[in-house]
Copies of this chain bind each other. A is one copy, B any other.
Amino acid sequence: VRYSTTGTSSLENAQPVVVSTAYGEIALAHNGDIVNADALRAELQEKGWAFATSTDSEIIVRLLANELTVSGDMVKAIKNLTRILAGSYSLAILFAGKVFGLRDPHAIKPLVLGKLQNGYGIASETVVFDFLGGTALRDVAAGEVVVIDNKGYTSHGARSNAPKAHCMFEWVYFARPDAVLEGVLVYEVRKRLGEKLAEREQVEADIVVPVPDSGRAYALGYSETSGLQYVEGLIKNRFVERTFIMPEQKARELSVKLKLNPVRQLLCGKRVVLIDDSIVRGTTMREIVRLLRKGGAREVHVRIGSPPIVAPCYLGIDMKTRDQFIALERTWDEIAKILTADSVAYVPLETLVECIGKDARDLCLGCLTAEYPVEIKGEKFRGQQVLEYYIEEGR
């Protein structure tokens, strides 16, 4: 699956893209963001290439076809892609009756290898294999090419001493709570973050209320550690997605209000610790605080299970411009004021890293630190990552 980073989901972005080459048809699905897509497109157009769509997926598949023609070998062609593409890219390619998987050399976006009843497969999340009656085997490694055919799978691994750059936001928000990323259960990370938050950022209050569904695991951790009662004080409307007859302009204003309803009887007169995973712009959170107060909450203390977001993401999250971040160059008190909350607190960066359980150098923390694992024009680069050479597994 690809998280739509452009807000709307257009047919043009539908995956996979399919092209026919001298060697047969190639179908390609892509999760991630190619940072040098515009530069590559311009460069290729200068050579006379014409593109049918504006997607980076078309750039990838056309480059791949070109590399395939040069080398005559799909694994080599895929390896060569890693020297051309910059950014995050987990690829699934169908060609000549085989499935080829590639995870970018930083392993930014997840890609999982799993066993199915009659073979093997690759997917973005481990839970896909649960659903299909199979078993997730392991994460595809940074820069690794996996080839699946009737007989099984082979791995064409890259030797790299360089650090990885797993997107921390997968654990914080993107992945399902039951997904296991790099061996770490998402639910556990979130619950631990909630516990840490309770230890560090105590406040005198009556109840802990999660923003459903994203804040639930955090809030359970906070509740257990703080001893404050866990209350589902905001109810999510399961039918909102079906309100297709609503005029679009009003739909946006109403969306938060329609999605969440404060339960007056549970909130009335209470001092509430409101828990969510993260804040980007703050507009939704501000609206939720207002809803709680309207529902009778006496105090609202916002507790966030990750550090403040202060920089754009170019590698897979839809946050591209700086001016939108509520936490940028503001103190927690200033943020609380904007949110109309009684207080605001975040988790420190080192606590996030600790709860994920990885070395900070193996995570992409770009949106929290403004230092990025790949070179991005106008942004700080955190240092060279070297993909030394490819090795064949078992040779």
CA distance A257 to B77 in the complex (A): 38
Minimum Cβ distance to chain B for residue A106 (Å): 26
Residue in B closest to A66 when the chains form the complex, CB atoms = B48
Q: By CB atoms of chain B within 10 A, which of A130, A133, A213 has the most?
A: A130
Interface status of A245 (Cβ within 8 A of chain B): no
Residue in B closest to A21 when the chains form the complex, CB atoms = B50
Residues of B within 8 A of A22 (CB): 42, 45-46, 48
Residue in B closest to A259 when the chains form the complex, CB atoms = B131
Interface status of A230 (Cβ within 8 A of chain B): yes
Residues of B within 8 A of A54 (CB): 20
| Total copies of this chain within the assembly | 4
Question: Contact at A257–B131, with CB atoms within 8 Å?
Answer: yes
Question: Contact at B176–A235, with CB atoms within 8 Å?
Answer: yes
Question: Contact at B187–A265, with CB atoms within 8 Å?
Answer: yes
Q: By CB atoms of chain B within 10 A, which of A18, A22, A213, A257 has the most?
A: A22
Residues of B within 8 A of A46 (CB): 22, 69
Interface status of A368 (Cβ within 8 A of chain B): no
* Contact flag A230-B235 (CB < 8 Å), given A131-B258, A265-B180, A265-B187: no
Residues of B within 8 A of A66 (CB): 48-50
Residues of B within 8 A of A65 (CB): 48-50
Question: Contact at A48–B20, with CB atoms within 8 Å?
Answer: no
CA distance A69 to B270 in the complex (A): 55
The residue that A188 contacts in the complex, of B49, B213, B261, B265, with Cβ under 8 A, is: B265
A-B CB contact pairs (8 Å), 15 listed: A18-B52, A19-B50, A21-B48, A22-B45, A48-B66, A50-B61, A50-B64, A52-B58, A130-B262, A131-B254, A176-B237, A177-B232, A177-B263, A185-B266, A187-B266
The 10 A-B residue pairs with the shortest CB-CB distance in the complex, in nearest-first order: A50-B65, A48-B69, A22-B45, A19-B50, A48-B66, A178-B235, A178-B263, A185-B265, A21-B50, A20-B51
